[in-house]
Amino acid sequence: MSESVPPAPTETVRVGLIQCGHVRADVANDHGDYPELFASLLSDSPIELVTYVAEDGQLPSSPQECEAWLVSGSASSVYEPLEWIGATGNFLRQVVEADRPMVAVCFGHQLLAQALGGKVEHSDRGWGVGIQTYDVVDQPPSWPTPDVPATLRLLASHQDQVTELPSGARLLARSQHCPVAAYSIGERVVAVQPHPEFTPALTSDLVTVRREIIGSELTDRTLSRLADPTETSALDRSVVSAWFSRVLTSP
């Protein structure tokens, strides 16, 4: 799978970060919250991040307020009957209708699917945590290299999953645990279930403090893999960072 790659932008692009939650404080103290994590992930990109804390009711006035949009994870579930979740879903739908570039991650990936008519559920497959391998099944738009890898290895942390894609969405990646791991809407919007902005150290700390809800067996297995340099060095964080940059800065 290959396609022509758009040229890199020469000017800084203003990207609105729709922050849908916070990394829990005892982990964020050492590793940063979503604004810091995404700024680090995209540090080589010509991007200026502008944060809107959607969980606190902060939303842009229109999709035109920024040139592109980035949507974060959250500890909430998209199907909770909370006013801010409904309002944020409405805004994401407006971004798609306005044909603005957007990248949605984890909770954002789920909320976008739900806002466009898809379905999200608490998965009976259990937690998807730590290092996960996803099969790439279709050409991702704006992929930054001439060839697309057959698999992507990324860090994840979720129980909810997209179980039905919205009409018009194109499945990009999947795994046995997560059948809808990434999808696109047209050529300017992509959504992924894993967390490319997470680091192995952050994920280790997050899994450790969630031991009781994740379960000791899965926690120990996940921590063992995260402590193995051969495992963490094979993560595809950098190529996904370049992909996100291409999507967000596409003209």
Structural domain includes residue 7: no
Say what the pLDDT of residue 206 is.
Answer: 97
Q: What is the pLDDT of residues 186-220, one digit of tens each?
A: 999 999 999 999 999 999 999 999 999 999 999 99
Q: Is the pLDDT of residue 10 over 70?
A: no
What does residue 189 show for φ and ψ, rounded to 5 degrees? -130, 125
Structural domain includes residue 5: no
Say what the pLDDT of residue 2 is.
Answer: 40
Q: What is the pLDDT of residues 146-166, one digit of tens each?
A: 999 999 999 999 999 999 999
The number of distinct structural domains making up the chain is 1
Helix ranges (H only) for the chain are: 25-31, 34-41, 83-97, 107-115, 200-209, 211-214, 216-226, 229-232, 237-248
Q: What is the pLDDT of residues 229-245, one digit of tens each?
A: 999 999 999 999 999 99
Number of continuous H segments (helices) and E segments (strands) in the chain: 9, 11
Q: What is the pLDDT of residues 34-70, one digit of tens each?
A: 999 999 999 999 999 999 999 999 999 999 999 999 9
Rounded CA separation 93/113 (Å): 9
Q: Is the pLDDT of residue 27 over 70?
A: yes
| Domain span holding position 112 | 13-248
Structural domain includes residue 2: no
Structural domain includes residue 44: yes
* Residue with more model confidence, 250 or 172: 172
Supply the CATH number for residue 176's domain.
3.40.50.880
Q: Note if the pTM is more than 0.85.
A: yes
Q: What is the dihedral of CA 121, 126, 128, 130, to 10 degrees?
A: 150
191, 184 in Cβ contact below 8 A? yes
Structural domain includes residue 41: yes
**Catalytic residue annotation:** 106, 195, 197
Q: How far is CA 243 from the centre of its chain?
A: 12
Structural domain includes residue 3: no
Say what the pLDDT of residue 251 is.
Answer: 83
Per DSSP, the three-state class of 208 is helix
Say what the pLDDT of residue 1 is.
Answer: 47
Structural domain includes residue 1: no
State the chain's mean pLDDT as an integer: 95
Say what the pLDDT of residue 11 is.
Answer: 84
Structural domain includes residue 104: yes
